[in-house]
Amino acid sequence: MADYQSEILEYLARFELASVEDLSRYLKVSPSTIRRHLAQLQDRGLIVRTHGGATLPRPIRYDPQFDNRASRQAEAKHLIALAARSLVSPNQVIGISGGTTCTEFSRLIRGVKNLTVVTNAVNVAMELRGAENMRVLLTGGLLNQNSYELIGNLVTETLKNVHLDIAFLGVSGIDLAFGFSMSDESEAVAGRAFMNSASRTVILADHTKIGKTTFARLCAINEVHLLITDEGITSQQLASLKKTGLKVWVVTPRDEFMRKNIHCEGI
């Protein structure tokens, strides 16, 4: 039963919306079986039933400023989040920072079994509310009203005491000379704390961040294990980033249908 429900969540993570008929064909079970599982998933708060199907919920009503940021490059952010999702396996411990792309990513990992998520973003923790067999650790800290992120010494102190398999971070700028950057120094401090606790660091950023320098430096380009971005990146930008030794995964809409089978070598 749990496997069927995990498969339903995986399907919704990839395609956002599904009909009973789609899921019945995908799982090779009867429509009545699908409806029963959808009812149970809705009772747990993991999906929202629609006319003839289901979609993933949005448990938070975001302020207009956040929604406006999320709507920019929305398709690219979804593809980047899907790619990041394929790097996550059961029994891992992962870190997730705030930001619109990381928020999209958090919605897609609800079906991963026995996952531990450490985050400094209140909204990310809320997006994961109700996920079965998942532990969510929210750091302490002072709330940044603009980003839903907790900042300050309590974030750093919390992260000193945990080990992460992978830290997934969002950034606002990527520049060869200045490195990865964020718009707020306190968020950059929190990002470095995530990196210090993690075996690997993965940056989730659409192509509009490339070539930009924002206020606070997170780290040098070569301190990150993988950048996941979209096909808006130019060939010159891609070549320059790769010269630093950074692995870059450029996702495209054509990848979506084989997402579960994609793995990035060396990550």
Q: How many CB atoms lie within 10 A of CB 160?
A: 10
HEC string for 38-61: HHHHHHCCCCEEECCEEECCCCCC
| SS3 assignment, position 218 | strand
236 contacts: CB under 8 Å, gap ≥ 6: none
| Amino acid occupying residue 133 | N
Determine the pLDDT at residue 265. Answer: 37
Residue 262 is predicted with a pLDDT of 37
- 112-128 tens-digit pLDDT: 889 999 999 999 999 99
Tell me the two tokens of residue 21. Answer: 């008929």
pTM across the whole model:
0.82
Dist CA 136 CA 258 (whole Å) = 29
Query: 189 — phi, psi (to 5°)?
Result: -60, -45
pLDDT in tens, 208-247: 999 999 999 999 999 999 999 999 999 999 999 999 999 9
